[in-house]
Structure 1
Amino acid sequence: MIIDLARIIIRFKAYWALIKGLREFIEDYPFDEIAIKAIKGRDAVYPFGEVATYGSAILGSGVYDRRGFPRIKTLDNSIILLPPAFTPRRLEKMTELLREPTFMDVNLEDSLGGFKVSMPIVVGSMGSTTVASRFSLDIARAAAKAGIVMGIGENVAAVRGYSRRYTRGHPSFKERLMAYLTNVDKYGGVIIQQNVEDAYDELWNRVYSDKDVEPYIEEGLIGFEIKMGQGAKPGLGGVIKIPKEEAIRLKAKYHFEIDPEKIRAKYITRYSVPGTYTEDILRGMIRFMKTAYPRARIWIKLGPYRDVDRAISIAHEEGAHAVVIDGKEGGTGMAPSVAMKDLGYPTIVALKKIHDARKLGITNISLLLAGRLYNGSHVVKAIALGASGAYMARPFLMAAMVKGERGVLNYIEAVKEEMQMLISALGKYGIKEVNTEDVAALDRDVAEMLGISYVYSSSF
């Protein structure tokens, strides 16, 4: 009987090993990726399932691999803040206030990209995707009331209409713009992206000559943003799914793999081109903008490009107001899975590019960091290493989805308090006082890359 039981146990373990081997193969090998491609064809290029479909998904490159281990180094797992025991700046603040200072005394006001802001965070330019469009007015009103800069992304006017709504339930471009401008007080500003297709409609000319916008241009509240790329799909243009009737309306301007009039489908994928740039083209664009729109701030948004240092130098030399570098973790409404996984470098490397530019003496231009930034710690770390501020989008969108305009305001207030607490803990009371002495690395490579202390070294 014991022998029979032993045989059963051994046989069970053998079968279990076979099942386990199959399970490990399915989990370890990209079986699901191949299967989805076999089922859906070119639609499987994008990471949408049956639940997280286009319009409801908010995407970005993952920071963990299939087994849950960190895939890339981030501001979270590689950099820490270092508070000191001795705080002479706190003593100075105490003398100034005639009392012990608290974190609430930390001043976050700054100048960012030509705008006066209440704190150095920016609502990154979100385009015409369904989810961004539906919550755009809540975000615009909240950002204006909070005194932070907001961007309006590419294709909004072309897809959603300039002043009249093209699609039911989706605000027009001008509705987004005026929702912000009519709620702004003494801080803030709006930056407006224009891509190749927007340029066909002369969007910037239309805004600059709009009588309703003129008073705000005169106040210095309008900026134009050249979109040279983004973190989620650097080197590729914007892409969204739109209803067939819209695709037919837009087919002369945008690119479609199949003629919308020759396909039976409810929704069709619309592609924008990424634009073509050389050093001379970028210089020429900035010079043209300074001549054609002298009262507008000039911003440039870059993806995680290998030659980003040259773009920063050109922007600085030609007098642009701000450059944004979006790391590969940056959010998007729609991007190919392979692009999010394999194109570009992580946000922490984008921060290194900013840090390098500062060491070269490029100081009179705002350099902003973007890519999976969402809390006060991220902003303080970025600023300590040379960034002027943080450029974020998904957090504002999620906050609006949870609680509308009030949710966005609550989120901004929470990030503000986190920043004040951390800067106060560093013994400082102004956002501009934070620097490299306040940070250290948990990773030797990151320490060497950024030229900061490695906490596990014998010399620390």
Structure 2
Amino acid sequence: MERVLRNSSYLNAMSTTSTRTRVRDVNPQSGMCPLCIRECPFLCEIGLSAFRGREALYPDPQYFGDSTASGLKDYGLDWSHIQILPRLRGAEGIEPDPDKMLFPKASVETEIGGIKLKMPVAIGAYGSTDVARKYWDGIAIGSALAGVILIIGENVCGVDPESTFSNGKVVRSPEMERRIKLFREFWDGKYGNIAVQTNVEDQRIGVDEYVISKLEVDIIERKWGQGAKAIGGEIRVYSLERAIELKKRGYLIIPDPEDPEVQQAFKDGLFKSFERHSRVGSPRAADVIEDVERLREMGAKVVTIKTGAYRPVDVAWTLRVASEAKVDYVTFDGAGGGTGMSPVPMMNEMGVPTVYLESLILKALLALKKKGKYVPDISMAGCFINETQIFKAIAMSNFDGKPFVKTVTMGRSPLTAVMKASYFCELASQGKLPREFARRFGETPDKFFILADELKAKYGDKVGKEIPWTAVGLYTYLDRIKEGLKQLLAGVRKFRIDLIDRNDLASLKPLAAEVTGIPMVHEVDKELFEQILDASTIE
């Protein structure tokens, strides 16, 4: 009953939009209060929409630039419905000696599209939304220190107010330069790398040529969609002049900032922000193949595709085209996630959720492999926050000794780590840390960031200065994931990340088994179970 209420109530009340209902026992179909009264002082989704119209489609505007948003819907199947099965005897990737089978010795290093990583994580993509711009120092430097891939998202050059253009093509973007430079300052040149994602708008203004030729970017990611929405990228614009500038650069701005009535309404305070939207693409196979070839000719060393939670036929089409074009890897983003500004109803009600999506992807990859076709590496995205989910996504993709899924792409959680670090450092500087937090962990960043001394031993006085505490926060969060993965590997007695496979997993409910093909716990080892008990001797 609790799940039914949770799935229905969000239709008319969501923390994402700061709406609520007067009573908790809402109508299970509409999410409305059973008794809706005129004197209700609360704003539900219907009430908010009566006052703010289309603005109510999006996360609460007052938090734009300092928040991330996601869906609320329970899809009936997620990673918690799959269990990791530990092993007692033997070991792989290390000698089965108790003195050697220590979890810190497990290796979580991996490789995707020829890029070596210290752990199976990519971060992004963070584009023109304010939250990325404001917290980029921590995101970029923390990612570089951790040895992972960091993806600069769409529209950065087009939205940069300092960008300069020649014949409609970008020739300089200080913001793009800043983002790349910050990562490279602390990148070891060996593990991880910086990628630039480009969409329809970016291609029109020549972002590919600019970042490859002038900024020496190695990785170009073509964006076809994301799990949070199936339309183009969106941001909020709080200046009339800025809205007009972006319209002149070719973006769709709603409402029209050049309309005199709209301008007057904005000046009168009837609304406080404009919406900037990107166009959606409709790729064709021949064009994709030609585009990938062109990017390689331009100097791109790695070409990838980022796509969303589209229907099964589009999953098959994407992988078939990616195979023909021989892209280095494809990132699939499951429904429910988000990083900036996506329509809330779309985040909840549109797209294929992550576990379902990966199952479809694996089916397609197995078919391609059987036919002898080229199979690109895969990165899964969509609501990943910890090591258990990463383990399951990789293990589920390994049928015969080589996992298809090489990394997981994370968006919201790294931002959360950076924002939380930023806020608590601010509180510390003001002497306003929560009393219990200060008692447990200390009153200054060099005390409450547990890896501060480790980083200081390597980088000295740069920690807290050139390496901001926000970067330390992200690095520390990723280190937790790395260590957690090592513990899980030791638990299944496999001491390399590429050794985990479907035999290390079990389904916890029939739907999980039906969708993934992974047997339920009571079905695992069924034949061997009986053989051991029937055997005349035991080793």
TM range (shorter): 0.7 to 0.9
For 2:37, the equivalent position in structure 1 comes to none
- 8 Å Cα contact 2:212-2:298 kept in structure 1: no
- Which amino acid in 2 is paired with 1:382? A
For 1:202, the equivalent position in structure 2 comes to 206
- Which amino acid in 1 is paired with 2:106? V
For 2:128, the equivalent position in structure 1 comes to 128
Query: What RMSD in Å do the two structures reach over aligned CA positions?
Result: 2.4
Q: Match of 2:235, SS?
A: strand
Residue 456 (structure 1) shift: 4.6
Q: Distance in 1 between matches of 2:302 and 2:86?
A: 36
Structure 1 outlier segments of 4+, above 6 Å: none
- 8 Å Cα contact 1:163-1:173 kept in structure 2: no
- 8 Å Cα contact 1:133-1:171 kept in structure 2: no
Q: Match of 2:46, SS?
A: helix
CA distance 1:400–1:427, shift in 2 (3 Å): same
What's the % identity of the aligned pairs? 30
Q: Match of 1:251, SS?
A: helix
Residue 239 (structure 1) shift: 0.8
For 2:223, the equivalent position in structure 1 comes to 227
Q: Match of 1:226, SS?
A: strand
For 2:521, the equivalent position in structure 1 comes to 455
CA distance 1:121–1:363, shift in 2 (3 Å): farther
For 2:427, the equivalent position in structure 1 comes to none
Matched, 1:305 2:302: no
- 8 Å Cα contact 2:70-2:338 kept in structure 1: yes
Matched, 1:238 2:238: no
Residue 180 (structure 1) shift: 0.7
- 8 Å Cα contact 1:72-1:346 kept in structure 2: no
Residue 455 (structure 1) shift: 1.8
Q: Distance in 2 between matches of 1:459 and 1:117?
A: 34
Q: Distance in 2 between matches of 1:195 and 1:353?
A: 25
- Which amino acid in 2 is paired with 1:280? A
Residue 22 (structure 1) shift: 8.2
Matched, 1:320 2:327: yes
For 1:167, the equivalent position in structure 2 comes to none
CA distance 1:130–1:27, shift in 2 (3 Å): farther
For 2:95, the equivalent position in structure 1 comes to 93
Residue 380 (structure 1) shift: 0.6
Matches within 5 A, 1:122-161: 122-161=122-161
Residue 458 (structure 1) shift: 9.1
Q: Which moved more, 1:405-414 or 1:243-252?
A: 243-252
Matched, 1:426 2:428: no
Matched, 1:392 2:410: yes
- 8 Å Cα contact 2:162-2:174 kept in structure 1: no
Q: Distance in 2 between matches of 1:257 and 1:426?
A: 53
Q: Distance in 2 between matches of 1:163 and 1:417?
A: 41
- Which amino acid in 2 is paired with 1:389? T
Q: Distance in 2 between matches of 1:127 and 1:172?
A: 11
Q: Which moved more, 1:325-334 or 1:425-434?
A: 325-334
CA distance 1:458–1:368, shift in 2 (3 Å): closer
For 1:12, the equivalent position in structure 2 comes to none
For 2:183, the equivalent position in structure 1 comes to 180
Q: Match of 2:254, SS?
A: coil
How many residues are treated as equivalent by the alignment? 413
Matches within 5 A, 1:431-450: 431-450=497-516
Residue 240 (structure 1) shift: 0.7
Q: Match of 2:63, SS?
A: coil
Q: Which moved more, 1:342-351 or 1:279-288?
A: 279-288
For 1:68, the equivalent position in structure 2 comes to none
Q: Match of 1:260, SS?
A: coil
Q: Distance in 1 between matches of 2:92 and 2:395?
A: 16
Deviations 1:318-374 (A, max 9, x none): 211110110002213111122112211101112112322342327752101100001
Matches within 5 A, 1:18-33: 23=23, 28=28, 29-31=30-32, 32-33=44-45
For 2:428, the equivalent position in structure 1 comes to none
- Which amino acid in 1 is paired with 2:121? I
Residue 261 (structure 1) shift: 2.7
Q: Distance in 1 between matches of 2:116 and 2:245?
A: 40
Residue 433 (structure 1) shift: 0.3
For 2:377, the equivalent position in structure 1 comes to 366
Which one of 266, 273, 295 corresponds to residue 267 of structure 1? 273
- Structure 1 unmatched ranges of 5 or more: 1-20, 65-70, 165-169
Matched, 1:284 2:290: yes
Q: Distance in 2 between matches of 1:33 and 1:22?
A: 12
Which one of 398, 402, 407 corresponds to residue 420 of structure 2? 402
Q: Distance in 2 between matches of 1:88 and 1:101?
A: 8
- Which amino acid in 1 is paired with 2:282? T
Residue 25 (structure 1) shift: 6.3
Q: Distance in 1 between matches of 2:513 and 2:163?
A: 50
Taking structure 2 as the reference length, the TM-score comes to 0.72
Q: Distance in 1 between matches of 2:143 and 2:22?
A: 51
Deviations 1:124-162 (A, max 9, x none): 211111112111121111111111000000011111257
Q: Distance in 2 between matches of 1:141 and 1:24?
A: 44
Deviations 1:202-227 (A, max 9, x none): 011011111xx33xx5xxxx200000
Residue 459 (structure 1) shift: 7.8
For 1:46, the equivalent position in structure 2 comes to 58
CA distance 1:89–1:176, shift in 2 (3 Å): same
- 8 Å Cα contact 1:368-1:388 kept in structure 2: yes
Residue 453 (structure 1) shift: 1.2
Q: Distance in 1 between matches of 2:290 and 2:360?
A: 24
- Which amino acid in 2 is paired with 1:395? S
- Which amino acid in 2 is paired with 1:240? I
Q: Match of 1:328, SS?
A: coil
Q: Distance in 2 between matches of 1:197 and 1:324?
A: 20
Deviations 1:287-326 (A, max 9, x none): 2222333x42111001111211221122122211110110
Residue 432 (structure 1) shift: 0.6
Q: Match of 1:247, SS?
A: helix
Matched, 1:107 2:107: yes
Taking structure 1 as the reference length, the TM-score comes to 0.84
Matches within 5 A, 1:332-347: 332-347=339-354
Deviations 1:51-97 (A, max 9, x none): x5322331111144xxxxxx431112x1110111222327x4256xx
